[in-house]
Amino acid sequence: MGLDANKQQTWFTEYQTDSLSLGLRVETILASDTTPFQKLLVAETETFGRLLALDGAVQTTARDEFVYHEMITHVPLFMLDAPKKVAVIGGGDGGAIREILKHPSVEEAHLVEIDAEVVEASRRFFPEISCALDDPRTSIHYTDGIRWVKEARNFDLIIVDSTDPVGPAEGLFQPQFYQTIADALTDDGLMVAQSESPFLHQPLIRHMREGLETAFPHIKLYLAAIPTYPSGLWSFLMASRKSPAPSPRHLTLNLETRYWTPQLQTAAFVLPRFVEELMA
Amino acid sequence: MGLDANKQQTWFTEYQTDSLSLGLRVETILASDTTPFQKLLVAETETFGRLLALDGAVQTTARDEFVYHEMITHVPLFMLDAPKKVAVIGGGDGGAIREILKHPSVEEAHLVEIDAEVVEASRRFFPEISCALDDPRTSIHYTDGIRWVKEARNFDLIIVDSTDPVGPAEGLFQPQFYQTIADALTDDGLMVAQSESPFLHQPLIRHMREGLETAFPHIKLYLAAIPTYPSGLWSFLMASRKSPAPSPRHLTLNLETRYWTPQLQTAAFVLPRFVEELMA
């Protein structure tokens, strides 16, 4: 990540790999801190509105956050007839919680975030993303997700909404963690994890799939288009004991969404051939 | 577009908008010319392999060209039972022609490219993309696409494989051109045009759709994920006199592809809600 002043322009540049970068012109830097866990930046960008970056990587922007937050939540939630207990590991901005609470059956939404300063920054700078964090159904746990999941039981859905597999999130990509999650789910329960880009991170996706296979018999991958994430195409791995199928309520619950639709609930699993082959 | 030497690194930077950039680290510059129509650059990049850029905008890279070329051709071709005559306006790299000729019914594939130097650069630097340009079914016409289409008749499919709507390609986004194409098609014929990013170019997509509606009763939009194009999500507008439906042969012709699949033939038309609304 570099902030280069040039002709009175400030740019946020994420080096997505050693040889690939995304640049966003910045109007104002709103916060630039070092938390106990990572570097945190909040900036107003011209193309994507307000930006939250951790360790130099885009986490969320005001203009495209809806894609990630809708797709990491509604796709697994609509595989369940009446999800009641849901947990999000990571996801301190609160966007996943906001979407989860759109499902009327949900009674408990747990946010397990190691870095309280991410939640604070989201409350302060992203009110439209963090708006459900004060909902009475939400509990926030500032702790290590791996430890927290060991005590968790009877969850319908656990979402691993992590940063990249370096730094504080590294353990969230390990097979042992997936087994711990499996033990925390009901028999009909599901887990979903963000699994990076099928164009750029194929070894990681394979590694995650193999890890998930040690804990779950059914693994599926689905896709969504997220402009500010590397390559613009993002994947999600879903794992479960039973073979998942959309609940009829995906056709009847009229959700306010900007990306997810009832038709995308199945079309998101239709993969380009090179991604099919990665999952074969 | 800028080539910045910094710590012995060379980067190709495309300013996709005033405030959004994509950077690709370059190993070698292979060609950097000014043709009678545009600036042409060929470079070897680390992440996406060989790159062709025109007027500073990525046209094609060795590693992701398959997405664009498969999706701009097979989706409309599989709406037809036996496409015989096909034309590509633009597309001087030859990638669309390569895919078109995978359909055994095709007897004539016409490439109408205004800039002969694009074709020459592709023959020299992208043999795996330009490989079908010497096929006996291929005819190359170095001329203005608008003028050429005025004389064309009985085409099953005309593909507008243009650069961005500035510079030499501007006229390819005008309603009058769409009427000329309609006159060049058979009754069952189709046209398809690349229509930029639904995240970044909504006014253009609306303008193109309205222009197409003056010439065709049926307009549909479909999507594909192309990492080196702005936002990573790309759209294609398909227009026809009759309501299009996939031909049964999309299930039986066993094509060698890396992106297109028989399931994507329909799933590519399942749109995120904000894109559905753009087309409503």
Q: The tokens of A252 are what?
A: 């009847």
Look at residue B197 and tell me whether its pLDDT is greater than 80: yes
Adjacent-strand bridge partners of B258 = none
For B78-217, strand residue ranges (E) read 85-90, 108-112, 138-141, 155-161, 185-194
**Percentage of chain B lying above the pLDDT 70 cut:** 97
H helices of A45-174, in order, are 65-77, 95-100, 116-125, 127-130, 145-151
pLDDT at residue A172, rounded to an integer: 83
Residues of chain B whose beta carbon is less than 8 angstroms from a beta carbon of chain A are 11, 13, 17-25, 45-48, 64, 67, 197, 199-200, 223, 225-227, 231-233, 257-261, 263-264, 267, 270-274, 276
pLDDT digits (tens, 9 = 90+) for B236-264: 999 999 999 999 999 999 999 999 999 99
Query: For residue A258, how many other CB atoms are within 10 A of its CB?
Result: 16
Mean pLDDT computed over A108-133: 98
pLDDT digits (tens, 9 = 90+) for A87-103: 999 999 999 999 999 99
**B161 tagged catalytic:** yes
Catalytic residue among A93, A156, A161, A164: A161
Place of tokens 């190359």: B140
User: Which of B67, B270, B279 would best serve as a mutation to test chain A binding (most A beta carbons within 10 A)?
Assistant: B270
pLDDT greater at residue B163 or residue A234: A234
The answer to whether the beta carbons of residues A40 and A55 sit under 8 Å apart is no
pLDDT at residue A233, rounded to an integer: 98
Catalytic residue among B161, B164, B183, B188: B161
Give the residue among A17, A224, A60 at the shortest CA–CA distance from B232.
A224
pLDDT digits (tens, 9 = 90+) for B90-129: 999 999 999 999 999 999 999 999 999 999 999 999 999 9
pLDDT at residue A3, rounded to an integer: 56
The residue type at B93: D
pTM: 0.95
Give the residue among B158, B102, B166 at the shortest CA–CA distance from B135.
B102
Residue A93, SS3 per DSSP: coil
Mean pLDDT computed over B154-172: 87
Domains in chain B, CATH or no CATH each: 2-61 (2.30.140.10), 65-279 (3.40.50.150)
H helices of chain A, in order, are 65-77, 95-100, 116-125, 127-130, 145-151, 175-184, 202-213, 264-267, 273-279
The answer to whether the beta carbons of residues B48 and B63 sit under 8 Å apart is yes
Look at residue A74 and tell me whether its pLDDT is greater than 80: yes
